[in-house]
Each structure stands twice: as structure tokens, then as C-alpha cells.
Chains A and B, each alone.
Chain A
């Protein structure tokens, strides 16, 4: 192929072509080697990011039909928008099940991060967190976060270890669950259960 091309190329051009082909071949080989040795955590992270992006794409489409509320003195408008957004997302994701966004592969990473964070906390810190966490709660995907329960603050050091999320989404802890919550829809969009230790009764 190179030879036949060379029939129509000047010598300099032929050299450039050979170099380009050589680099292309090198790149293909390098990419193949890279994919063989890819960090499994990085792969899980990339997949998680992709699932989050897909959720956000769906959310953006829905948001076009239920536009974001501008500042208003009428709380009924805020309430109505939250409800409409939550219902629309729930409808669009009917059948969503645990792990759809967090992912089975990432679940192990999240659990490890949570366990390490817990282990690093002082007994006083653990007690304080336990005091804050609502207990005896049943959480369901595509249902609102229980509207009368507090949103327990997620420890900043823990947040720093978790993958960043778009502003519309947040991680939350409640009872022994680790959640992904859509902030403006007050909707549980994914969860891991049993991630926090059982409190000594």
C-alpha cells in the first residue's frame, strides 16, 4: 500500500506518510496495552460518570417542560415545581432499581470509602452522627426523600472522597442508607442499603 502510494508521492511526502502511518500503528498498540492495564477503579468511575450524565440528560429534557423556579414569594410555586419535577422524573425512570446509577461495580468502592471514613472517626464523632441520623426509615427509589425528616449533613471529609456530582444531585445518609438525591425534585434516585454500621441498641 505504501509502495503504491509512493508512486504518486514526492520523496518528502512519502516520508511524512510513513511517519504518520508509523505513529498511527504505535498509537493503536499503545491504546491496546493501556486498555489491558486500565485501573478498574478508574473504569468504574468513568462508567459511574456516564450514568450520572445520562441521568442529567434525561433530567434536562424534563426540566424543559417543568422549568426551574425563579425566586418567588409564593412558596406554592416552589412546592408545585418540586412535586412536578419529582413525578416527571419518577415516571420517566419507572422501573428504576438500586444500583442503576451508583452501579454494582462502584457500590464496592462507595462501601469501602464509607467504611474507611467511619473507621477514621472518633467515638464522639460517630455518636454525633448517629444522633443526627433518622432511624427506622424505609427508603424507596423514585419516591421523595421523607419530607418531614432532616437532611443530615454529609461530613465534608467524606464528601471530599466521593466522586463529584452535578449541582442538581447530592449524596445523603439516612438510617443505614447511602443515597443519591435529586435536590430540587427531593427525589431518591438511587441508594445503597446497609452501608452504615448498625447502631448498638
Chain B
């Protein structure tokens, strides 16, 4: 399945998916102009879900610092859930920075998200380069003891990869899982971004050559990654929407290349998190700063017939 951006269809036409900006996003706006935008008035500016029975989730990345910024984003997430009742949270890696003693799991995960954990909101973690793979045994991360795994929610299947160590075994597993999935939505997430405008890291080209052909072949719709300490929405690549949300507790200010060719929108001046809703034929997304300020939002629309099975997709995807 694919998305395109309706408001900028001429510039971003990519086939089967359409992205409509809910909060108007200027397609020519560079990261720099986003940074210079005046902050909107402080109020709850979280948009509620638009569809009944949709799959609603939050996205955070590069979180495990135990710093006040992590706690602030955690509090804002809890607040956002009052308006946008997400069912679960996906974590894009670097879940625990530095030492991983038992107390670190408390200060760098359990306490910052205590309200959500108390409300029985499950978290599904991917491993980052700062994560000991033994985190897969930590029950609150819901990894089932595996470095890479898959889970489904409603009409969506999530493929959670270990981008630190993409060996042939994992690639084989990924292809097998993707080939047998006929879910309406296919979402992949992992730590290292295949596309990025970050000055420090940039795109993971090597990883991209290995996994993107599979994403294209089997119709992955949206990919989330972290690693870069900012938010970036990448212009659609090969029919796939890529997001980076690695600024939920770490921030690399001004790291998004100005005027880079990949950026559809970027935010690198404050911490942020994402909310997403997978509906029958569209994904709504919104990005908020730690202070609740809207950073980006939009709608990615599936253009296919709702009941069309995944196997019947054109092979060219």
C-alpha cells in the first residue's frame, strides 16, 4: 500500500497512497523555517481520533536518558492520551542509555511513563545501539524474548527489527513474515533511519539496500526510526512514508540539514513525540513537542480498495 500527499500531489505523487495535511504543512517549508515559526498558544492542541475502531498508538524514540526532558515528554504523552486515547506505545530504540543496572530501568523507563504503565498501556520496544540485547527479556518491552518480532493490532501488523545487527537470519525471517502478512496496514519500525537529513548520522544506506527492497516488494506502508535526535518526516521514497522520531528525550539542535532534498518537515529545536491512528483507509499522524505544541500533522491515505488482499498488489511495488 502506498501514500501520497494530496495537498502537494503534483510534487509528491507516489502512486497508491495519499497524504493530506490536516494541520497545513507548507511543502516548501524547510526545517529552518519550521524552526523559526512562532510558537502557538499553549493549550491542549491534541487532535482527537477521527475514526471509530481505529488503531491508535504513540511513537517515541531515543528515550532512555532519565533526564527531565524524558519525564516532561512522558507527562505530555499522558496528557495527550486524554484527548487521543492511544492503546499502545512503540519505542524506536535507545530505550536505556548508559548503564543498564536494575535501577536504570526504573529511572529511565518505569518512572517517566509510570502513569501510562499504571493505565496498562503496553510498550513495544525496538533495540537501539545503546541497548543491551538482553532487554528483550524485560517484560514491559513486550519483545517476547526476541531481538526482532512482529505483532498485530486490529488491521495492522507491525514488524519490529533489530537494525543493529541485520544478519541473513533476520533478513530471511523478515521476508518470511512480510510474505505471509495480509494485513491492511504494514508498519515497520527499528532504530536506524534508512533516510535522514541528519548532519551527524545521515541515511543508513547499507541497511537500506538490504531491507527496502523487501518493504517495496511486500507493500510496507510506513516506517518509523529513531537514532537521529530530532523529528523528521521524509518525502515519500519508493512509495513508502518514512518518519524519524528520535527526539523524545535526546535533542541534537539544528542537526537537520537546511534545504536537504529528503525533508518534508522537520523539527530539531525541542523534544517531541508522535501520535498515529490507523483507520480503514488512512493514517492520521500528529507530532507534538514536549510542551504540547503541534509540530506536524497529516493524513496518509491508502488508495486501494479496502478489501483488496495484499497478495494481489502489483509486483512492481
Q: A residues bordering B, Cβ < 8 Å?
A: 69-76, 78-79, 81-82, 122, 124-125, 128, 131-132, 147-148, 150-160, 164, 167, 170, 183-184, 186
What B residues does A128 contact at CB under 8 A? 201-202
What B residues does A79 contact at CB under 8 A? 100-102
B114-131 toward A: CB 8 Å interface, digit per residue (1/0)?
000000000000000111
Partner pick for A75 among B105, B131, B192, CB 8 A cutoff: B105
B133 touches A157 (CB 8 A): no
A156 touches B166 (CB 8 A): yes
Partner pick for A72 among B104, B138, B191, CB 8 A cutoff: B138
**Shortest beta-carbon distance from B211 to chain A in Å:** 8
B210 touches A153 (CB 8 A): no
Closest chain A residue to B206, Cβ basis = A155
B129 touches A159 (CB 8 A): no
B168 touches A152 (CB 8 A): no
**Shortest beta-carbon distance from B292 to chain A in Å:** 30
| Complex-state Cα separation, A74 to B99, whole angstroms | 16
> How many interface contacts (CB-CB < 8 Å) are there between A and B?
101
Partner pick for A164 among B131, B134, B165, B167, CB 8 A cutoff: B167
What A residues does B98 contact at CB under 8 A? 148
A78 touches B164 (CB 8 A): no
| Complex-state Cα separation, A76 to B171, whole angstroms | 32
What B residues does A125 contact at CB under 8 A? 205-206
A186 with B137, Cβ < 8 A, contacts A76-B102, A128-B202 known:
no
Instruction: Assess whether B144 is interfacial by the CB under 8 Å rule.
Output: yes
Partner pick for A124 among B134, B202, B209, CB 8 A cutoff: B202
B200 touches A131 (CB 8 A): yes
A157 touches B206 (CB 8 A): yes
Question: Other than the known A75-B102, A153-B204, what 9 A-B pairs have Cβ atoms closer than 8 Å?
Answer: A71-B143, A72-B139, A78-B135, A79-B100, A122-B205, A151-B130, A152-B129, A155-B207, A184-B133
| Complex-state Cα separation, A117 to B166, whole angstroms | 16
| Complex-state Cα separation, A186 to B99, whole angstroms | 13
What B residues does A156 contact at CB under 8 A? 166-167, 171, 206-207, 209-210
A147 touches B205 (CB 8 A): no
**Shortest beta-carbon distance from A148 to chain B in Å:** 5
| Complex-state Cα separation, A70 to B139, whole angstroms | 9
A78 touches B163 (CB 8 A): no
Partner pick for A159 among B133, B165, B204, B209, CB 8 A cutoff: B165
**Shortest beta-carbon distance from B196 to chain A in Å:** 10
Instruction: Assess whether B312 is interfacial by the CB under 8 Å rule.
Output: no
Q: Residues of B within 8 Å of A, CB-based: how many?
A: 40
| Complex-state Cα separation, A184 to B132, whole angstroms | 9
A71 touches B167 (CB 8 A): no
Closest chain A residue to B109, Cβ basis = A75
A73 touches B169 (CB 8 A): no
Instruction: Assess whether B140 is interfacial by the CB under 8 Å rule.
Output: yes
B145 touches A157 (CB 8 A): no
A159 with B164, Cβ < 8 A, contacts A75-B105, A79-B102 known:
no
What A residues does B140 contact at CB under 8 A? 73
B137 touches A69 (CB 8 A): yes
B164 touches A157 (CB 8 A): no
Partner pick for B164 among A122, A151, A186, CB 8 A cutoff: A151
What B residues does A73 contact at CB under 8 A? 138-140
What A residues does B135 contact at CB under 8 A? 78
| Complex-state Cα separation, A170 to B137, whole angstroms | 18
| Complex-state Cα separation, A75 to B98, whole angstroms | 15
A153 with B129, Cβ < 8 A, contacts A71-B144, A159-B168 known:
yes
B89-116 toward A: CB 8 Å interface, digit per residue (1/0)?
0000000001111101100000000000
| Complex-state Cα separation, A148 to B206, whole angstroms | 26
Closest chain A residue to B129, Cβ basis = A150
A147 touches B169 (CB 8 A): no
What A residues does B168 contact at CB under 8 A? 159-160, 164
User: 5 tightest A-B contacts by CB?
Assistant: A76-B102, A156-B166, A75-B105, A150-B129, A153-B164
Closest chain A residue to B100, Cβ basis = A147
A71 touches B145 (CB 8 A): yes
Partner pick for A148 among B99, B138, B144, B191, CB 8 A cutoff: B99
Closest chain A residue to B133, Cβ basis = A183
| Complex-state Cα separation, A183 to B137, whole angstroms | 13
